[in-house]
Structure 1
Amino acid sequence: MAMRVATFASSQSLLQAAMRIQVKEAEATTQQASGQVSDDYGGLGSKAGSVVSLQASVTRSKAYKEAANTASNRVETMYNSVGSILDDLSSLKATLASSTASSDTLQTSAKSALESVVSLMNTKLDGRYLFSGSAVDTEPVDIDSIEGSTATSQDELDYYQGDDQTASVRVSSSRVISYGVTANDDSFKQALWAISTIANGSTDSDSVTKAIDLLAKSIDGLSTVQTKLSLDSSDLKDAVSSQEDYQTDAADVISNLSEVDITTVAANMSNYEAQLEAAYAAIGKISKLSLSSYLS
């Protein structure tokens, strides 16, 4: 039966209301599936600016964390290298102190220690020399300038090819951490001078005694260097932890701003379904009305 003119306006009004409810139901269905208020920033309204700003800050935070992690790995490698150098120096010191070692044995041991220590001071990680300061592409120690050197003191031992600028890394918008040590440190100089003296043939009693004393001082100094590296590592790990904490907090705020309460959404969907059923039921009744049924 065709709809009466008298019922058309009411039916159209209900139909439009039902369509609006359908749109809301569809939005709620999408929210329930994704857990997000909207699939774009426009749907966030006044919250959009805050969400965009927080997401940008999280991206920066991840970059700071990655930089601090990279620096931390470098420091750990330096720490281990210095530890191995200390082992070499302690071993050579014990050999020099041995009353039964021949001059040839002392010289051979010193040459072996020199090669090992220089190799460790020339340690690279990810293509960077770690003990060259900021001159990361330059090998810090030139062993050729040590072997056969005619230097008369450690200050004349010209082996270092890096610079005096220690490495640094930005770990936040307001903090830069300097870290590491260069191969030009006095403790390294003492070690190389003591070793080179014996390696270059000075194995008399006085030279050996002086070398032992220098090695002892170098060992003490490099132990302090290790302590510094340990503190650098702690600072860098704290910086990483700080950025991780910030990212967690920011993610919670972003979640609160952009994610929906699933329980609320489910309740809204149930409400929308009930409204739709009522609207369509009303439309159905209106469409069956006629003048005779109205008059009766």
Structure 2
Amino acid sequence: MTDLNTQASSGYKSRNYSGIADSSQRLLNLEAEYTRTEQYLRNTTQAKLRLQNMESAVDTISSIAVKIKSLLVQSLSANQADDVNLDNEAKQAMEQISNLLNTNLDGRYLFAGGRSELPAVDIDKMYAPDNYMSESGVTLTDATTLASLGVTDGEIQIVSTDVNGASSTSTVDYDPTTWTIADLRNAINGNTTDGAIATLRGLDEHEGPRLNIENVGNGTITITEIAGGNILNALGMTKIPNPRPDTSYYTGDQQILEARIDDQYDVSYGILADDPAFQSLIQGLGIAAATTDQDALNVAMGHISDAINNLPNIQGKIGLDIANIERFETRHEDYKIFAAQAISDIETVDVPLTLAELSQYETALQASFITISKSSDLSLANYLR
């Protein structure tokens, strides 16, 4: 009766394992599995929450890309880049994308890979650096002579400033009577102090090569004639944002997040801010934010269109990761319910049933006390009487 009374008051069969010796090993196994399942569920909850935040950010980025493309179409179709305020719209979009790619959850920057303690992108490096490009329609090769382009004798000064503010200046004294485009490029590229590099390439893969003189420090560049000459005018050199692909804005690493969500099973999940879709969008916005040149805006349109085409792939990957995690999450939740019930069956008692059994024992005990009491009154004298 004492054991039953203890069980009824505590709800447990025993206060130690010896009281359930026949089930103690099974109980220990179930408790270990229950604890492990709870940890897996914490991991899946954390991973799913991160992915859902990333999914929301990418959805918003996709909407921004569609909006800017619409403005670009309007600007290009009616040559109204100024009227639609395209540059300011592109700058605002860049700031929004910077904030979205720097999404922070519980102190972790989600798009930064393993370097999650630092922002994933640096907005100062997201804008396309300066670049001087010769006009379209003029076919240039390294063998093209400056004389054939109508260049007269002179000298140019190149001033470059990188994103950290460090500035450098150099001069190039060219000779149009003997120099070719190759000679001009070599003179610029051979100067290690000017922070500029000269290349032959088009705005994109669809046009022929142009002469590009670009800042190598992702900053600003200014080229001026300082001793006569007309090389800038003869080549139609225009200052526009550099259209080359660039991911220098990304400050994270290449480590993909992982979560242990089952025995010997880790799931890799997440997207990095240097994904080609983000890079294309940032490239296009950087160009649109800094020029009204129609050729350059057409290139910006191409970059943003590529981003719009590729962003659904990112959204699909995140969705698949969430679905994969939820599948394990459902399995663990089901097992947790089963294990909790199995542990309860081993450890606990049915209190109402135990109270009923206790009442029966109390009745039997009282009857035994009465019997003992009556038997104590029996004697030979009383029997003979």
TM range (shorter): 0.7 to 0.9
Q: Does the Cα contact within 8 Å between 1:129 and 1:139 map onto a contact in 2?
A: yes
TM-score computed with the length of structure 1 as normaliser = 0.84
User: 2:315 maps to which residue?
Assistant: 226
- How big is the shift at 1:109? 1.6
C-alpha distance 153-102 of structure 1, shift in aligned 2 (>3 A): closer
User: 2:31 maps to which residue?
Assistant: 55
Cα deviation 1:114-157 (Å, max 9, x = unaligned): 11111111111111101001110121111212335146444334
Instruction: Say which is worse superposed, 93-102 or 187-196, in terms of deviation.
Output: 93-102
* Aligned amino acid, residue 287 of structure 2: T
Structure with higher strand content: 2
TM-score computed with the length of structure 2 as normaliser = 0.66
C-alpha distance 133-157 of structure 1, shift in aligned 2 (>3 A): closer
Map 1:111-122 onto structure 2 (within 5 A): 111-122=91-102
Question: How far, CA to CA, are the matches of 2:286 and 2:243 in structure 1?
Answer: 11
Percent identical residues: 32
Cα deviation 1:239-295 (Å, max 9, x = unaligned): 222221111010111122122244652453243123212321221122112232345
User: 2:123 maps to which residue?
Assistant: 143
Instruction: Say which is worse superposed, 285-294 or 108-117, in terms of deviation.
Output: 285-294
Q: Does the Cα contact within 8 Å between 1:71 and 1:169 map onto a contact in 2?
A: yes
Structure with higher helix content: 1
Cα deviation 1:184-212 (Å, max 9, x = unaligned): 111011111111112132x2222222211
Question: How far, CA to CA, are the matches of 1:37 and 1:154 in structure 2?
Answer: 74
Q: Does 1:102 align with 2:84?
A: no
CA RMSD after TM alignment: 2.0
- How big is the shift at 1:213? 2.1
Q: Does 1:204 align with 2:293?
A: yes
Corresponding residue to 1:125 among 100, 105, 111: 105
Question: How far, CA to CA, are the matches of 2:113 and 2:384 in structure 1?
Answer: 100
| Unpaired stretches in structure 1, ≥5 consecutive residues | 1-24
Q: Does the Cα contact within 8 Å between 1:149 and 1:157 map onto a contact in 2?
A: no
Question: How far, CA to CA, are the matches of 2:17 and 2:254 in structure 1?
Answer: 49
- How big is the shift at 1:100? 5.7
| Unpaired stretches in structure 2, ≥5 consecutive residues | 131-217, 219-241
User: 1:18 maps to which residue?
Assistant: none
Q: Does the Cα contact within 8 Å between 1:154 and 1:190 map onto a contact in 2?
A: no
Corresponding residue to 2:55 among 66, 79, 85: 79
Cα deviation 1:207-248 (Å, max 9, x = unaligned): 222211221110121111011111111222222222211110
* Aligned amino acid, residue 299 of structure 2: K
Question: How far, CA to CA, are the matches of 1:219 and 1:56 in structure 2?
Answer: 48
Question: How far, CA to CA, are the matches of 2:371 and 2:267 in structure 1?
Answer: 72
Alignment coverage as a number of residue pairs: 271
